[in-house]
């Protein structure tokens, strides 16, 4: 239960961390707090217009057609769908995808280009 363990857990998607030993009352309170938040927005299917992302499997479809994306492109799309139709800043995307270790080059531009290309291939209307 070191700080590195906690950091790894939060980076992996956790939103709470309970260190051992713990009191059962604390566990009960944390479970109640987590349950009262309602369903997580990043679990299940995220949809905007005709684009769907199954957050569990990473499968992306547009108008029913499956689209293959890289892991990073999928992370970017997941963030964009989570907040759609609102805009997401470049800084927010970089922090969400790379965390405290942003890429040294302009990798985001390249990944967005690839994401746009993949999503729009075979469709007349652009989505990003």
What is the model's pLDDT at position 100?
A: 81
* DSSP of 47-69: EETTEEEETTT--EEETTEEE--
What is the model's pLDDT at position 23?
A: 92
pLDDT tops 70 at residue 59 = yes
- Domains assigned to the chain: 3-36 (no CATH), 45-120 (1.10.10.10)
pLDDT band (50, 70, 90) for residue 39: low
What is the model's pLDDT at position 105?
A: 79
pLDDT tops 70 at residue 7 = yes
90: tokens are 């470049």
pTM (2 decimals)?
Answer: 0.67
Using CA atoms, how far apart are residues 32 and 26, in angstroms rounded to an integer?
10
Phi, psi at 42, each rounded to 5°? -100, 10
Using CA atoms, how far apart are residues 47 and 64, in angstroms rounded to an integer?
12
Using CA atoms, how far apart are residues 94 and 69, in angstroms rounded to an integer?
18
């Amino acid at each position: 239960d070191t700080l590195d363990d906690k950091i790894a857990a939060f980076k992996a998607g956790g939103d709470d961390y309970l260190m051992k030993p713990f009191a059962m009352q604390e566990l009960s309170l944390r479970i109640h707090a987590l349950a009262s938040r309602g369903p997580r927005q990043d679990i299940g299917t995220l949809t905007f217009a005709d684009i769907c992302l199954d957050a569990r499997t990473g499968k992306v479809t547009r108008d029913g057609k499956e689209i293959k994306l890289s892991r990073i492109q999928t992370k970017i799309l997941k963030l964009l769908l989570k907040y759609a139709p609102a805009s997401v800043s470049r800084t927010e995307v970089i922090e969400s995808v790379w965390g405290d270790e942003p890429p040294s080059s302009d990798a985001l531009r390249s990944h967005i280009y690839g994401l746009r290309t993949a999503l729009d291939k075979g469709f007349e209307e652009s989505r990003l």
